[in-house]
Structure 1
Amino acid sequence: MDLAIPPHTLLLPIDPGLWPPPSGPVRVDDTVYAPKRELHVTLIGSRLGSELNATFETAFLQEEITRAMAAREWRFERTGRLVELAYPSCTAGITNCQAPSRRSVIELIDLPAMRGFHQTLGALLGRQLPVPPPHVTLYTAHDPGGIGLASPLQLRTRRLRALRPEAMQPPG
């Protein structure tokens, strides 16, 4: 399995031969979304990754993550369930912020290994962790990084609506 590991995160890259990235931008209502150039599933987000890295020695953490990854089947199924997300670009308490909310279009996926993986990470930390909703970000607007979803609660609070594919039109 090929994993990408930026600082404090763990990504499961998706083979473009199995699921090609979107080919161009789309418009949903008045928002134009840029396509993601590469597709991945975030297995460990930056906040959890930072906590793990601050709590454990690097060699131990790498060994435990490698073992937890190897113990699972990392196959996923596409669901076709598209969701439009929004998250404020400005920090709470800042007044007169004119920046538009960051937006993303994601597809929820079935990834059974995610639950057991986060249970293992939670056992390392001595607490139960929320299971991030398995998803792939397809498009973003106002910030190419997308919107993190570390828990089902974040999915509910950042969700604008479910989308049908026909709601996404070419810009113009």
Structure 2
Amino acid sequence: MFSCESAKSLRLKNEVHANIGGGRDNIIRYNILYNATGVGLDVDGRGLQAKFLDQLEANLNRMPYTDALWSSRYPLLAAMAKNNKTHGAPEGNQIYSNIYYTANNTGFLNYHGAINLTQYFNVYNNKQALRKSDFADPDDNNFQLQGDIKSWADRNQFEEPVPFNKVGPRSKPGPSYLQK
């Protein structure tokens, strides 16, 4: 992932809800990560390892990332490739203000591999829901927050998920002349 945002979503019963596989400038915020069978989020720094860096550089060099179109849309990519000191590092990633729940205590975040990656991932203000009852009725896909987790969400401007029975268009679909 490079410069991707995951926000205000609900992720259910995945092995891993999200993986930042050595990417940069990714933001994971305001999500409910519910009951991962593995770890909730998995991150790594594969570009820091020589065995992967050559292939990553070869893939990058096949792309016209320095031409006007690409460099105007992805200016950080062109700058990163010129910086030999950090060009393989997974910099600028942010993981904050998420709510997570795991029945089997698999955990929230795994730094995958042997490299200590904490310097590349700004991780803060994530909240663990301790009980299934912190959600209205997860067995019926109702993840409205309640109790202590609701209080935390209110203090942190965490928008609750849209109730399952309210998912859909917010106004009548179709051309306006048909809605009279």
TM-score using structure 2 length: 0.22
Which has the larger share of strand?
A: 1
Q: Which has the higher contact order (CA 8 A, sep 6+)?
A: 1
